[in-house]
Amino acid sequence: MTQEIKNLIEVSRFYGQDKEYVIAGGGNTSYKDDKNLYIKASGISLASIDENGFCVLDREKLNNISKLHFSSDPVKREDEVKNALLNARTDPASELRPSVETSLHNLFSYRYVVHTHSTLVNGLMCSNQAARRSLSLFGDEALFVPYSDPGYILFTLIAGEVRKYNEKFNRDPQIVLIQNHGVFIAADTTNEIHAIYEKIIKRIKDTFDVFPEEKEIPVSKKMSEILPAVRMLLSDNKVKTATAFNSSSIAEIISDSKSFFRSIPGPFNPDQIVYCLSEYLYVENKGTSDEIISGISDKIEDFRKRKGITPKVIFVQEEGAVVVEDSAVSTGYLKDIVIDFCRISRLSENFGGPHSLEPSQVQFIENWEVENYRKKVSLGAKSGGRLENRTVIVTGAAQGFGAGIAEMLFGEGANIVVADLNEEKGEEFALQLNEKPSKNRAFFVKVNVAESASVESMVRQTVIRFGGLDVLISNAGILHAGSLDEMDQSTFELMTKVNYTGYFLCAKYAQEIMKIQHRFKPDYYMDIIQINSKSGLKGSNKNFAYAGGKFGGIGLTQSFALELMPYNIKVNSVCPGNFFDGPLWSDPERGLFVQYLNAGKVPGAKTIADVKTFYESQVPARRGCKPEDVVKAVLYIIDQEYETGQAVPVTGGQNMLK
């Protein structure tokens, strides 16, 4: 790899990882030498791009594109241009697709070009005074270009303006500001690119008497009651993901409908249309959650009748915004874009107010294959799997059995809430899951399942993040072995609180959300699953505190099942055998092998190995239980729609039901 390409990767990641400049896979970067142009391929993320993410094109072939004659029909023309760009690749077999802006990058004589959709720059570019204020701020340093449909038309427009600029100043412009679009910066070094960006940002910021900093505002409890209903109202054959959020820029424009429609009269730039559609719902806050949901339902139905599709963005008066999409990655992009266009609206007030795209311009973007391709690629491969887009809480998921269950369910496409007391391990594990190339997501929530407020908060955070709850797996538990002589009351009560009361609390708060979902999608099935134990099926010598809690758990399962099945909420327990390889058993200081050895639970055992051999010999399958054994049972429970109230043994034959 040459130093020039290393510099290109560095500058790409620098701006790509900063949401002030790039969101939702937008923006573009390039480097050119005398023969070739290296440009970020369509749909590739700048934030993580490496040398394999750049499409390499022959500059001579690129130059010839401007000499070709294309159809006057916009759809045919853009398809012809797309094919011309593909034919300019140095490697025709490459699967990388050149960015639609490739010809623009080739236009500049400078080596490096960095194009971003900077929020601050677009506060100016998407304003009513964009042209006049650009001239007063930058004079001849910058070239301002009025909005044009992106693609070949924009290229020919900018090419003509650059030619005029060059004739006047004997050099190409280094700053090109495009109305309702963004900014191109060109230079021969990446250091100069950085310097120019810093100058632009400072100059625009200095126009504000008080710069409006963006602050996150926590959403209210009311939104967590509204969100599961909205998610189901917008889920057709496949359940979707939703999220709710609020911020200072959003709060400023949702106080009433007049303020909202003045601030956001329509989309400001192509990204908003491609990801969020061209129209966003505004719903008045009439008081109760049910009244707001009713208002949302009416507006969704009207939207569907008018447009033949479902909306993706809903603003609720004085509460915040809701976005709904086909995956957690998509909703993350939508959230970023919604905050971005609310900020753009807020910033534009400093330059005469917001200037949205014209209806014909919106229509062009809606029908443009190139932008829809970019969106499709940027969102990555489908998650797939049996639990695609389901939201699953796994308590006690930071390590051991819980982590194994969570990881495999994540592999089946579920959005996973890693719920645990261990913050360090939980955050680390969620990060590991999110590094996988998939469209689902995981996040960590610190929870003490023995405390009501903590469990309620866990469920609420889940709803706000993913829109609802489909599966609750109550896995968190503790075990302290001991005889009647050894066990004290405080230890007994602690174990009961975690293993028994914790399951009750998880079921209590999970079912509240699931009932809301059932109201708005009555044919949808949900699950509460307790990871119980073989000790819930048969008494356990000198382990009565644990066994008693697990016996009680099966009683809860059967009782919950009777109560909740009318809402299509299935409640079952999985009763695993011993997970010998996990920390519960194998921890050298506090594991059960050590505890049982010290308690003399295994007659004649002198070492930990003796204890392990003893317990393995009790299993017909001659081994301990593994997470994959449990997950097979969990997936069966979720897949089927007929059984509830069951305790499913996964014990290698050690426990057999009568």
Catalytic positions, written as ranges: 546
Residues 149, 153, 155, 157, Cα dihedral to 10°: -100
Give strand pairing partners of 575.
649
DSSP annotation of 237 reads: S
> CA dist 71 to 75, 98, 370, Å?
9, 20, 16
Give which of 210, 224, 335 is closest to 275, Cα–Cα.
335
Give strand pairing partners of 650.
576
Rounded distance, CA 284 to CA 304, Å?
19
Q: Where are the beta strands (DSSP E) in 319-457?
A: 320-325, 391-395, 415-420, 442-446
Rounded distance, CA 603 to CA 605, Å?
6
Rounded distance, CA 414 to CA 162, Å?
50
Question: Residue 435: which residues within 8 A CB-CB, separation 6 or more?
Answer: none
**DSSP-derived pairing of the beta strands 320-325 and 142-145:** unpaired
Q: Where are the beta strands (DSSP E) in 341-500?
A: 391-395, 415-420, 442-446, 471-474
Rounded distance, CA 149 to CA 569, Å?
50
Rounded distance, CA 405 to CA 392, Å?
11
Rounded distance, CA 110 to CA 605, Å?
77
Assign 261 to helix, strand or coil. helix
SS (H, E, C) 483-546: CCCCCCHHHHHHHHHHHHHHHHHHHHHHHHHHHHHHHHCCCCCEEEEEECCHHHCCCCCCCHHH
The two tokens of residue 571 are: 């409640």
Give which of 527, 416, 440 is closest to 240, Cα–Cα.
440
Question: Residue 192: which residues within 8 A CB-CB, separation 6 or more?
Answer: none
- Residues written for the chain: 658
Scored b (16 or more CB within 10 A) or e, 109-121 reads: ebbbbbbbbbbbb
- Only one residue has tokens 């070492």, namely 607
Whether 130 and 204 have beta carbons less than 8 Å apart is answered as no
Count of beta carbons in the 10 Å neighbourhood of residue 624: 21
What are the two backbone dihedrals, phi and then psi, of residue 3, each rounded to the nearest 5 degrees?
-65, -35
Question: Residue 101: which residues within 8 A CB-CB, separation 6 or more?
Answer: 28, 39, 115, 150, 155
Whether 7 and 31 have beta carbons less than 8 Å apart is answered as yes
Whether 71 and 59 have beta carbons less than 8 Å apart is answered as no
Count of beta carbons in the 10 Å neighbourhood of residue 599: 16
Whether 145 and 176 have beta carbons less than 8 Å apart is answered as yes
> CA dist 72 to 62, 370, 412, Å?
20, 17, 47
